[in-house]
Amino acid sequence: MVVATGFFDGVHVGHRLVIQQLTEAAAVRGDESMVVTFWPHPRNVLQKEARSLRLLTTLAEKKDILHGLGVDHVEVLQFTKDFSSLTTEDYLRLLMEKYSARTILLGYDNRMGSDAKGADEVARTAEMLGLEVIRTDMVPSEKGYAVSSTKIRERIEEGDVAGASSMLGYEYQLHGVVVAGNRLGRTIGFPTANMQLYEPLKLVPGNGVYFVKVEALDRKLYGMCNIGCRPTVGAGNARTIETNIFDFDEDIYGLDLTVTFVARIREEVRFDSLEDLKMQLEKDRDECLTILNCHPEPGEGTKY
């Protein structure tokens, strides 16, 4: 096996350089490629006093993306406090003995083991054990700093889904089930699908209104999604993820829904009346449709 190891949250453009080199190295050597990752996130095991880290990808999403990039095998190790006590050498030996690793790819900032060795020390230890080592370079963003899962999380929390997408290499999405809401949207002509996430630790974009792509009933649709606490209808409301799907009025309670974020339209604000809210939603929809008509999907023409 030619192995790359790490959490790979988001499988962003920096990770993709590693994966590309992984699959190419395996092909040249006539070996198979493998990613060895962990679940849950180490921070959520070792730092219980801290707020749980929100994730860019669920475990299922991460596996799907990695296989889609051509990785032959994706193995998941249960991350526990006992597992965290392994040294760099212990862990490299595990990769060799359990997964037949003979080549390992290391990112520019790869750290591993309870001794927290950096990439240079990891490389020396790996070579001492007889592993071939391939090093990868940093992938800069448009502002010159390294792409990282942390920076992408910051963008998403700020609502900058377009900026996050440029670092991910794909558009960010949420996946969940449609649950009953208060049906207020329907009374003003904007019925919404209220989503409950399948993965509670999935990172939700910052509050606001977004132009989104929607998958429901095996159909690809468009809409606008409001994330927030609906201040117009009162204070102290729970945070919700509600999507108005354009030209759609079917019962999808209890069914799967995927919402993919294209652009942020505005912040969530409180309006003085439901009529004012309705007028703003009409403007939001027009802005979404303008974006769609100016940037249709490949092979598609104007939609509206």
CA distance 295 to 209: 19
Shared-domain flag, residues 88 and 175: no
Domain that holds residue 108: 2-135
Same domain for 128 and 189, yes or no, is no
Residue 89 lies in a domain: yes
| 127 and 179 both lie in a single domain | no
Q: Judge whether 180 lies within some domain.
A: yes
Determine whether 118 is exposed, middle or buried from the number of CB atoms within 10 Å of its CB (0-12, 13-18, 19+): middle
Q: Which of 84, 107, 135 is the last residue of a domain?
A: 135
Note the pLDDT tens digit of each residue in 195-226.
Answer: 999 999 999 999 999 999 999 999 999 999 99
Is this model's pTM higher than 0.85 or not? yes
Residue 19 has pLDDT above 60, yes or no: yes
**Does 208 lie in the same domain as 93?**
no
Please report, for the domain that includes residue 208, its CATH number. Answer: 2.40.30.30
Same structural domain, 84 and 128: yes
C-alpha 164/C-alpha 151 separation (Å) is 8
Band (pLDDT 50/70/90 cuts) for residue 140 is: low
Q: What is the mean pLDDT of the chain?
A: 89
Residues 20 and 130 in one domain: yes
304: in domain: no
Out of 78, 109, 135, a domain closes at 135
- Distance between CA 186 and CA 182 in Å, rounded? 9
pLDDT band at 138 (very low <50, low <70, confident <90, very high): low
Name the domain boundary from 115, 135, 155. Answer: 135
Encode pLDDT of 222-257 as tens digits.
999 999 987 766 666 789 999 999 999 898 999 999
Angle between helices 119-128 and 88-99 (to 10 degrees): 50
Helix (H, G, I), strand (E, B) or coil at 252: coil
The reply to whether 103 and 222 lie within a common domain is: no
Half-sphere exposure of 202 (CA within 13 A, CB side): 21
Residues 73 and 196 in one domain: no
- Let me know whether 82 and 204 are in one domain: no
- Return the pLDDT at 136: 83
How many domains in the chain? 2
Give residue-wise pLDDT tens across range 174-197: 999 999 877 676 777 889 999 999
69 in a structural domain: yes
